[in-house]
Amino acid sequence: MVVDNRAGAGGNVSGDMAAHAPPDGYTVLWGSVSHSVGVSLSAKPGYDLVKDFSPTAQLVMVPYGVAIHPSLPAKTLKELIALAKQKPHLINFATSGSGTYLAAQLFSDMAQIHMTSVLYKGGSPGLVALLSGEVSMSFTSLVSILPHVKTAKVRLLAVTSANRSVAAPEYPTVIQAGLAGFEATSWYGPLLPKGTAQGVVERWTQECNKLLQDSALRTRLIDNGVEPVGGTSAEFAAHIKSEVEKWAKVIKKTGARMD
């Protein structure tokens, strides 16, 4: 395999290139949540993530952790929401890109609270800001935050996946912690250009699922806070469609644009 890194425009550069590649099974888009967000952030993404691709199998899902600085007087997610309602804009949260920013905006909207976003150039600077108390909250990767949770430098209130994290099963989901219907995760999986022969799509799907059965790989993924998923092409297609629709609504409401 040859990896062709085409960064830019929130994934739209790579998405546009892959969407218009020959549908022969040899050009694959490493699809992610960035693409489901990017197509709505840009007025002219150049492609349609739902219509222009044939998904294979979703390989993995990565939940965020809802973490706060210990200086905040909240021990549970319900207490955090109550505090934010009592003192609007008291809580400032670190973001390092469209994914974490929109996850926090979705959280704020569903909880009916107002928080202040502080943008950092990457997850590491945002984590440093949380540890130092420069910001009081962050939606961040579980792997990066768990060591600091154990030393009580930060407090983990919940995880953002629909089900509890395999890497940290002792922590509730946001849904279990009191905010019904909330889910925001990163996800990844190979997408083939529309028009690729069904047999080729099925072969890719089979190989993806076969790969996820490798015990050493599964252990390595889980140890890094990445959860194996697998499944059918139809299931992945439905997931992508729901993600595009969900983030489009959040983007429209916030007025966020990338152009």
Query: Can you give the residue ranges of every domain in the chain?
Result: 9-60+184-254, 62-159
Asked if domains 9-60+184-254 and 62-159 share a fold, the reply is yes
pTM score, two decimals? 0.90
pLDDT for res 258: 66
Each residue's pLDDT, cut to its tens digit, for the chain (259 residues) gives 888 888 877 788 999 999 999 999 999 999 999 999 999 988 888 999 999 999 999 999 999 999 999 999 999 999 999 999 999 888 999 988 778 889 999 999 999 999 999 988 888 899 999 999 999 999 988 888 989 999 999 999 999 999 999 888 999 999 999 999 999 999 999 999 999 999 999 999 999 999 999 999 999 999 888 999 999 999 999 999 999 999 999 999 887 776 5
CATH architecture of the domain formed by 62-159? 3-Layer(aba) Sandwich (3.40)
pLDDT for res 130: 95
CATH architecture of the domain formed by 9-60+184-254? 3-Layer(aba) Sandwich (3.40)
∠ CA 75-76-77, rounded to 5°: 135
